[in-house]
Structures are given as structure tokens and as C-alpha cells.
Amino acid sequence: MSPGETARLQAHVLTIFPHMFPGPLGDSVTGRAMASGLVDIHAVDIREFATDRHRSTDDYPYGGGPGMVMRPEPLVAAVESVLQPASRVIVFSPAGRRFTQAMAHDLLASGHLVLVCGRYEGIDDRVLALTRAEEVSIGDFVLTGGELAAMVVLDAVIRLLPGVLSTSEAWRDESHSFEGLLEYPQYTRPVEFRGQRVPDVLLSGHHAQVAAWRRQQALLRTRERRPDLLTPDHLAELDRSSDSGASAGGAC
Ligand code: JA5
């Protein structure tokens, strides 16, 4: 992208339920991004690409078994109708590669997403190779279709576009101080609510102490809830902070 040019994102969402879009993406931060022209989301009705007289998008599975499978012809035709040189083609499936923040940044860089939403028991497997699609999962659970997964991915990518978040909302993404850790706890007024007080250190005005407390809270929470995220450096830092007796508020 040339200097001064603004990053944009275009997405085509292929679905048999196009009226589901933009849905919640039309509100708030993502809605403003759409209204300002930074993002274009086009819902494409897969059924429009069905050629048989019943416009069918599904059929019985070869080999038998329960449910229906999405037919390949309308899906491949729909993808080919929107494909651009830089497109990333994604099919949502619980069997896909797990969606992450790093993938969100990567998808933004492509500038064009083709998001294929399955329904029924899934899509004919030949579609993947024929469209060079990547299978992506947003988590280890089952959904009735890919549409909600597409909304999750779009939300995560849209908020990364420069100018979408206000500077006060965006600071976290710029900050490296809590890289790889869960967030520290936040508080606002009142200072006491239903018998629970805001930790004194946050009222002290000592910026260095506040920063040290938040860092330690982030480390402790991550150890408690997501120990898989901790690096050897984090573990060493936790050891040092317990040595220095900085156990303020630590629920160990
Ligand atoms: C279900 C026909 O990562 C969670 C997901 C569940 C699920 C996805 S992604 N796609 C579908 C689907 O069901 O297409």
C-alpha cells in the first residue's frame, strides 16, 4: 500500500442466509467502519448460483449417514464470482485451524476475504481444493452454520483497521507491556460498591506502583486461568515478584 492510502477491507460472505448480514456488525464500532467506507461487507446468496430447477444447495451424503451436505457446484461458482488476486478464501468448520489474533492481522493484510458459510452437515470436500480455501475454526464447539463464525472473524479484523478504533480504545493493541498475558482487572467509580473496594494502589497516584501491580495481576491471572500462555520469561518474572513480597491482592 502506498503512503497516505488508507487500509480498507472488503469481504464477501457466501451464505444461504444473506439476511443475517451485517447483523450485529452494523452497530457500534464496526457499523461506523462500514458507514465511513473503510469496510465493505457483501452478503452473497449461494442459492443464486444453483442451476437446477429447484435451486437446491444441498443433497444426500454419498456413503450414507445423517443429514445433508452442501453441493459443490453453487459454492464453487459463488466463490469464483467474487474472487480477486489477493483474496483469502475461508470455510468455517470446527475441524479448521484455530482462529487467533495473529490470523486476524494476517487476514487484514490481504484486504479481501471470501467467507464461505456452511449449513447442514457441512460442505462437499472438493470445494476446499477447487477454491484453495482454508478451513478455520473459532473454537472447539459446534454451531448450526458458519455465519456466526464469519461475524466473529469480521469483528476481530475490522477493529484492526487504522482509524476504526479511537486512540483511547486502540492503546491496548499498540502496547507491548502486557504482550501475551491476560488483562489486569479494571475499576471505575464508585470507590466502594456493595462492600467491595477498588484496590488502594489504584487510588494512590503512584504511577510506577500502579504499573507494577497491573503487571503482577496480569501474570497471576494468566497463571491461574491460562497457564498455557506463560513463557519461561513470564515464569521467571512471577518468581521474582513473589520474592520481592509484592503480593498485593494476589489470589494465589
Ligand atoms: C459449524 C454446518 O469453530 C466453531 C465452528 C462451528 C461450526 C463452524 S465453525 N461452521 C459450522 C458449519 O456447520 O458450517
pLDDT at 102: 97
Q: How far is the CA of 60 from the centre of ligand 1 (A)?
A: 19
Q: What band does 48 get if pLDDT is binned at 50, 70 and 90?
A: very high
Residue 249 has pLDDT above 50, yes or no: no
Residue 54's CB is within 10 A of a number of other CB atoms, namely: 6
The average confidence (pLDDT) of the chain is 94
Pocket of ligand 1, candidates 17, 69, 93: which has the most ligand atoms within 8 Å of its Cβ, to mutate?
93
pLDDT at 218: 97
Evaluate: CB of 70 within 6 angstroms of ligand 1: no
From start to end of the chain, where are the E strands?
9-15, 39-45, 58-59, 69-70, 88-98, 112-116, 134-137, 192-193, 196-197
Evaluate: CB of 74 within 6 angstroms of ligand 1: no
- Percent of the chain whose pLDDT exceeds 70: 93
Evaluate: CB of 57 within 6 angstroms of ligand 1: no
Atom of ligand 1 nearest to the CA of 144: 13
Atom of ligand 1 nearest to the CA of 120: 2
> In terms of C-beta density within 10 A (0-12 exposed, 13-18 middle, 19 or more buried), how is residue 27 classed?
exposed
pTM, 2 dp: 0.93
Residue 175 has pLDDT above 70, yes or no: no
Evaluate: CB of 137 within 6 angstroms of ligand 1: yes
Backbone angles phi, psi at 132, to 5 degrees: 50, 45
Q: How far is the CA of 83 from the centre of ligand 1 (A)?
A: 22
Which domains does the chain carry?
9-158 (3.40.1280.10), 179-241 (1.10.1270.20)
Nearest Cα to Cα of residue 203 among 221, 194, 216, 190: 190
pLDDT at 2: 72
